Amino acid sequence: MTALKAILSRLHVGGNESAPGEADRRPVGERRKAERRGNVVPFYDREKRLRFAAEAAGFGTYDLDCATGHNHWSPELNAMAGLPPDSGPASLGQVEELIHPDDRRRFLEKLRASLDPRGSGELEDDYRMVRPDGAMRWVKIRGRTFFAGAGAAREPLAATGVVMDVTASRAAEQELLESRAELAGLVDSAIDAIISIDADQRIVRFNQAACRMFRCTAETAIGSPLERFIPERFREAHRSHVAKFAEGGVTARTMGLPGVFSGMRSDGEEFPIEASIAKVEVGCRRWMTVFLQDITERKRAEDALRQSHERLEYCVEERTAELMQANEALERSNLELQQFAFIAAHDLQTPLRSISGFAQLLKKDYSGRFDPQADAWLDQMVRSVHRMRDVIHDVLAYSRVESRGNVFRPVDFRHLFDDVVAILDAPIRETGARVTRGDLPMVMGDRTQLAQVLQNLIDNALKYHAGDGAPAIHVSARQERDEWVFSIEDNGIGIADKHLEQIFDIFRRLHSQQEYPGTGIGLAICRRVIHRHGGRIWAESRQGEGSTFYFTLPERQREAT
């Protein structure tokens, strides 16, 4: 036992000179003798130097005497544990108290293992140490147990070692681990495929999205050249593009390869890709990360959109052409109709003139040679001819509304009113009518046609007056939004509700020629003229009380027609 203690004391490196211990209690002379025999540095010097080194490194040292269970801690270790320099834990139990409860069990197991004579005696582990003030430190322990004897007699003498405070590096390490885990999580959960390559364009990172995109595992991808995932014909362009980017000063940008940039899956399928690239340089190491999006769906959608757009355009063009054709046909048929009306009217007049002329000549030259019946018939003939002349005249006027219209000019309705009243002077006098007006505006239009409208409407009001009393006719206008609403109000016989719309139809008459002569075209002409001016025309009436005819004209004409 004495020999073992001696070995222990010789190898004791962390001891404190003042600390109690078997070795320290040996007589100085004996120690000196031993040093001289071994031709070594004097023991106290070595111990001192080691102590200095431990102090400088911030190491704490401990020394456990297995025979006595006595424990010795260096002042540094005491400081590390938040204890006064000279009052470290004397027993193992006290040491245990300083270890974090969660680490205690592991600590004891490890310690026990290191003291096991069948083991190596090595102890190395990290534990949390809880200071008396509650603060926690991470410490790293590296120690060794010294054994004596062999076989079953082998037993531990002492355990000694260094303790380092690794709280700061543990925190940094933890932070690094966390940020690495976070990054890995980010990269792996990204929707984009993310592939990092080294300076040789070999894959060093391949996330899950990349696995899905290229249909292979990260294990098979990592280490292989990036080109593996690029179709043959794009490889050259891609390689030089990436190389150029690597040399350039830009650190991230969208990869603008000319034409379609395609990727190639493990099974050889090609697909369109949109890519961007970023560059990272640390020291002399450089790597690049590419971010890829499979835009197959987007391309498909774009193509579909473009196709439907083209189809739509085609349809619109086709429809426009059809409409233009229809419009041309309509214009042509309109023109033909107008020509027909015009020629028919013209050709009807010539024979009519003969009938009228010869009837008149007969009456003139043979008057008295016929009996009164014959004279009456001749009169009726002439009257019929005149009526037919009126019809032809109105049909011509109707057919000319569109074809012979004048360019729109400003029309002062006050002057127009005066002119119309002057033209209708005879019937106004005859009926004793009172024709008045409110304030009338200036509008854009075809003066001749608008005069025709006003004349027809006033003429109708004069014609269809009630038997008793003189006609009273009032013309006025009011502005409503962007149009003028004109009204011609009379106190005449009025119109039944059911006829209010029909009256604007051509040849529509509500009375016999004997009651009220007319051609049935006047209001149809009015409607045509007002429509040509972009307005509306209608009538309101109470039978027996009078009628009001309304028509509108836009405040501004879109274009002169």
> In terms of CB distance, is 355 or 510 closer to other proteins?
355
Residue 339 beta carbon to other proteins: minimum distance, rounded to whole angstroms = 11
What b/e string do you get for 508-532 counting C-beta neighbours within 10 Å, with b at 16 or more? ebeeeeeeeebbbbbbbbbbbbbeb
Counting contacts by CB under 8 A, is residue 208 touching other proteins?
A: no
The whole-angstrom separation of Cα 321 and Cα 318 is: 5
Residue 550 beta carbon to other proteins: minimum distance, rounded to whole angstroms = 31
Q: Phi then psi for 466, rounded to 5 degrees?
A: -70, 150
Counting contacts by CB under 8 A, is residue 452 touching other proteins?
A: no
Counting contacts by CB under 8 A, is residue 387 touching other proteins?
A: no
> In terms of CB distance, is 126 or 347 closer to other proteins?
347
Counting contacts by CB under 8 A, is residue 389 touching other proteins?
A: yes
Q: Which of 174, 147, 149 is nearest to 158 (CA)?
A: 147
Residue 451 beta carbon to other proteins: minimum distance, rounded to whole angstroms = 16
Figure out which of the listed residues 67, 352, 374, 466 binds other proteins, where binding follows CB under 8 A.
352
> In terms of CB distance, is 340 or 358 closer to other proteins?
358
In this structure, what DSSP letter does residue 99 have?
A: B
Q: Which amino acid is at 273?
A: I
CB 99 within 8 Å of CB 128: yes
Counting contacts by CB under 8 A, is residue 358 touching other proteins?
A: yes
> In terms of CB distance, is 217 or 354 closer to other proteins?
354
> In terms of CB distance, is 299 or 393 closer to other proteins?
393
> In terms of CB distance, is 30 or 347 closer to other proteins?
347
CB 122 within 8 Å of CB 146: no
In this structure, what DSSP letter does residue 408 have?
A: P
Among positions 332-351, residues that touch other proteins (CB under 8 A) are 342, 346, 349-351
Residue 337 beta carbon to other proteins: minimum distance, rounded to whole angstroms = 16
Counting contacts by CB under 8 A, is residue 517 touching other proteins?
A: no
Residue 390 beta carbon to other proteins: minimum distance, rounded to whole angstroms = 10
Site string for other proteins, 397-416 (x = CB under 8 A): -------x------------
Q: Which of 247, 238, 225, 325 is nearest to 273 (CA)?
A: 238
Counting contacts by CB under 8 A, is residue 361 touching other proteins?
A: yes
Among positions 456-485, residues that touch other proteins (CB under 8 A) are none
> In terms of CB distance, is 106 or 389 closer to other proteins?
389
Residue 375 beta carbon to other proteins: minimum distance, rounded to whole angstroms = 16
H/E stretch holding 4 reads: helix 2-11
Sign of the C-alpha dihedral, residues 400, 506, 424, 390? positive
In this structure, what DSSP letter does residue 272 have?
A: E
Figure out which of the listed residues 385, 435, 451, 539 binds other proteins, where binding follows CB under 8 A.
385
# residues contacting other proteins (CB under 8 A): 17
Counting contacts by CB under 8 A, is residue 357 touching other proteins?
A: yes
| Terminal C-alpha separation, the chain | 132
Which spans in 366-434 are helix H? 372-403, 413-423, 425-431
Residue 334 beta carbon to other proteins: minimum distance, rounded to whole angstroms = 17
> In terms of CB distance, is 39 or 350 closer to other proteins?
350
* Residue 83, SS3 per DSSP: coil
The whole-angstrom separation of Cα 263 and Cα 482 is: 62
Residue 369 beta carbon to other proteins: minimum distance, rounded to whole angstroms = 18
> In terms of CB distance, is 235 or 404 closer to other proteins?
404
CB 341 within 8 Å of CB 399: yes
Residue 416 beta carbon to other proteins: minimum distance, rounded to whole angstroms = 20
Q: Which of 481, 484, 408 is nearest to 439 (CA)?
A: 484
The whole-angstrom separation of Cα 435 and Cα 443 is: 21
Q: Which of 104, 141, 113, 111 is nearest to 126 (CA)?
A: 141
Residue 379 beta carbon to other proteins: minimum distance, rounded to whole angstroms = 14
Residue 360 beta carbon to other proteins: minimum distance, rounded to whole angstroms = 4
Q: Return the residue matching tokens 């139809």.
A: 505
> In terms of CB distance, is 233 or 386 closer to other proteins?
386
The whole-angstrom separation of Cα 190 and Cα 180 is: 15
Residue 361 beta carbon to other proteins: minimum distance, rounded to whole angstroms = 6
Figure out which of the listed residues 332, 386, 409, 499 binds other proteins, where binding follows CB under 8 A.
386
> In terms of CB distance, is 79 or 388 closer to other proteins?
388
Residue 455 beta carbon to other proteins: minimum distance, rounded to whole angstroms = 18
Figure out which of the listed residues 354, 367, 502, 543 binds other proteins, where binding follows CB under 8 A.
354
What b/e string do you get for 109-131 counting C-beta neighbours within 10 Å, with b at 16 or more? ebbeebbebeeebebebebbbbe
Counting contacts by CB under 8 A, is residue 367 touching other proteins?
A: no
Figure out which of the listed residues 356, 455, 460, 547 binds other proteins, where binding follows CB under 8 A.
356
> In terms of CB distance, is 389 or 474 closer to other proteins?
389
Q: Which residues have C-beta within 8 Å of that of residue 134, sequence separation ≥ 6?
A: none
Instruction: Give the interface segment with other proteins, choosing from 39-47, 178-186, 353-361, 449-457 (CB under 8 A).
Output: 353-361
Pairing of strands 434-437, 472-480: parallel
β partners of residue 547: 541
As to burial, measured by CB atoms within 10 angstroms (0-12 exposed, 13-18 middle, 19+ buried), residue 456 is buried
Residue 406 beta carbon to other proteins: minimum distance, rounded to whole angstroms = 10
Q: Which residues bind other proteins (CB under 8 A)?
A: 342, 346, 349-354, 356-358, 360-361, 385-386, 389, 404
